[in-house]
Amino acid sequence: MLQKIIIVLLLFQLFSLYACTEKPEKLDPPHLLGKEPISSAAAVNNYHDVLSEWTKRGYRNMTVVHVGPLDGLAFIPAERMKAVKTLLKAGQGGSEAGQKVTYRDYLFAASRLGLIKRIYWIIPFRHLDFIDAEMRTQHFLRTETSHFRPKDVDAMRFNNGCVSGSIFDIETHICSPATMPHVSEPVLMTMDMGFFPAFSVTKGVNKLGAIKEFFDVMVAKQFKVQSLHIISLPSLKAMHGYLSEQSLTLLKEPDLLGRGNPPGLWTARDNADNMLSGGGANEAASFLKDRIRESPDDPYLILMSATARALLMDKAAALDSMSGLCATKPEFCRGIADAGVALRDKGDMSGAIEFFNKALELKPGLDSMRLEFARTLYADGKFDTAASVLSGISNPEYIVASGLLRGDCAYSMKKENEAMTFYEKALAAYQEAGGYRLSSFELESLNRLKAIYEKQNDQKGLKLLSKTPRID
């Protein structure tokens, strides 16, 4: 009798444990891209949300089709990978450096977590269009992507329209939209909206034309999409948010792809964007007067019109219009900073600083704007003010870039010891993060650190720099 009671209790305990275990979400059936509405398609502004969703849904050993200009395959060291895994398992937001994956490394993390087994990376560039596609793509992987092991890059081969091989032991195929082969199994798809500005330049068409050409080609591939995310990173201009909106509409309403002409509003946005991108601020301002009368509530047309006026030195009116848009639609606050960058590039430093100040007054927590503001102040020789702006950055994604720039500010003010402290902290964060490629500006910062080490005959520091980055 006692044995029966014990067995019943043990069975009850096992049942309770099973019942309390979180089960993967029930998966929707896959849908044919461009043929069937993908109602579950979602727009996000970071890749950590994508990986979190994949984890919740319990995907295992899936094939990914990643559309974008960036690889997402930066190496993650073991300790950081452990922190990422713990965070995803807990389903919580990370606040410390290294806890969240980014656009740099989300695919590497997905592979190490067992979520994916194979990657097709569709790039917006022309490397696959030439007879020496293999050599061009290898050069691209050596110079413009995350840092990969030389042996992995050297082993990549052109086959079936793509350059294929293994990157960090992950099966990887690099393709163009046209050369992408048919994939029979259901896929996870990510579409980075930074793809379309680059693809439009590659194809010599406007952005609306680039979207149409891309979707026309992709529909013919008959992808069975299990999950689809559209990503608009903070680096994408606020006025280009329409790329995300329109792409999402096409995914959910694929019948639009078969129509002869796109909606008039889409054409108006694209024409104005093309004028601004080509330096035609006066032409854009004139064109938008009539278009805004037709669509007075469209935030993208309003933002483009205000940007044109800012470049035409009607800055007070532009700021007033942008501020009003920011107050009602906070996601457009970044457009004020975008105008600041445009003014900086035009050489109007005082105008740029005015716009950045207004952007941070209205949206102080947006660290991508804060970093651009600091770069503007640094370029204008306002090193102390730039350092003050940088001190307010808290987003771990910018810890390396902001730390190196703070070092530059101190270095420019002849505070070498303070500069070395900032440089070394940023360098430690970079080494913790893994193997992404530093920008030319960030490499210049490390050259300044090298100059300090050489001046102080710091052999240990020079040796550390010589191993940066190091991918084992």
Give the CATH number, domain containing residue 390: 1.25.40
Q: Are residue 211 and residue 356 in the same domain, yes or no?
A: no
DSSP code at position 346: T
Q: Which two tokens stand for residue 170?
A: 């992950």
| 410 Cβ contact list (under 8 Å, min separation 6) | 383, 387, 416, 418, 419, 422
25 occurs within a structural domain: no
Q: What pLDDT is recorded for position 317?
A: 96
Q: How many domains, in total, are found in the chain?
A: 3
Q: Are residue 137 and residue 211 in the same domain, yes or no?
A: yes
Q: Are residue 330 and residue 197 in the same domain, yes or no?
A: no
Q: Are residue 355 and residue 392 in the same domain, yes or no?
A: no
Sign (positive/negative) of CA torsion 121, 127, 132, 135?
negative
Contact 313, 346 (CB under 8 A): no
DSSP code at position 280: -
Q: Are residue 114 and residue 241 in the same domain, yes or no?
A: yes
Q: Are residue 168 and residue 209 in the same domain, yes or no?
A: yes
Tell me the sheet residues that pair with 166: 171
Task: Return d(Cα 132, Cα 471) in angstroms, integer.
Answer: 28
Q: Are residue 231 and residue 274 in the same domain, yes or no?
A: no
Contact 219, 34 (CB under 8 A): yes
468 occurs within a structural domain: yes
Token pair 């300090």 in the structure block, residue:
452
Domain boundary among 313, 329, 364: 364
Q: In one letter, which amino acid is 457?
A: N
Q: Are residue 338 and residue 410 in the same domain, yes or no?
A: no
- Which ranges of 261-314 does DSSP label H, i.e. alpha helix? 264-277, 281-294, 299-311
Question: Which residue range forms the structural domain that includes residue 388?
Answer: 370-472
Residue 408's nearest CA partner among 442, 456, 432, 457 is: 442
How far is C-alpha 280 from the chain's CA centre?
28
Domain boundary among 344, 364, 384: 364
Task: Return d(Cα 397, Cα 228) in angstroms, integer.
Answer: 24
> CA angle at residue 366 from 361 to 367, to 5 degrees?
115
Residue 205 CB burial class (10 angstroms; 0-12, 13-18, ≥19): middle
Contact 403, 442 (CB under 8 A): no
Residue 298 CB burial class (10 angstroms; 0-12, 13-18, ≥19): middle
Residue 294, SS3 per DSSP: helix
Contact 403, 422 (CB under 8 A): yes
| 216 Cβ contact list (under 8 Å, min separation 6) | 257
DSSP code at position 42: E
Residue 435, SS3 per DSSP: coil
Distances (CA, A) of 319 to 167, 242, 270, 306: 47, 21, 23, 7
Domain boundary among 339, 364, 389: 364
Contact 95, 102 (CB under 8 A): no
78 occurs within a structural domain: yes
Q: Helix, strand, coil shares of the chain as percentages rounded to 5? A: 60, 10, 30
Q: How does pLDDT run along the chain (472 residues), one tens digit per residue?
A: 445 443 434 334 433 333 333 444 556 789 999 999 999 999 999 999 999 999 999 999 999 999 999 999 999 999 899 989 988 887 655 555 457 899 999 999 999 999 999 999 999 999 999 999 999 999 999 999 999 999 999 999 999 999 999 999 999 999 999 999 999 999 999 999 999 999 999 999 999 999 999 999 999 999 999 999 999 998 899 999 999 999 999 999 999 988 878 999 999 999 999 999 989 999 999 999 999 999 999 999 999 999 999 999 999 999 999 999 999 999 999 999 999 999 999 999 999 999 999 999 999 888 999 999 999 999 999 999 999 999 999 888 899 999 999 999 999 999 999 999 999 999 999 988 888 999 999 999 999 999 999 999 999 999 988 888 767 5
Q: Which two tokens stand for residue 136?
A: 């061009």
113 occurs within a structural domain: yes
Q: Are residue 176 and residue 148 in the same domain, yes or no?
A: yes
Residue 394's nearest CA partner among 417, 426, 366, 416 is: 366
Q: What pLDDT is recorded for position 92?
A: 58
Q: In one letter, which amino acid is 228?
A: L
| 44 Cβ contact list (under 8 Å, min separation 6) | 50, 229, 230, 231, 232
Contact 62, 116 (CB under 8 A): yes
Contact 322, 335 (CB under 8 A): yes
14 occurs within a structural domain: no
Beta strands in 168-240 (DSSP E): 170-175, 187-192, 224-231
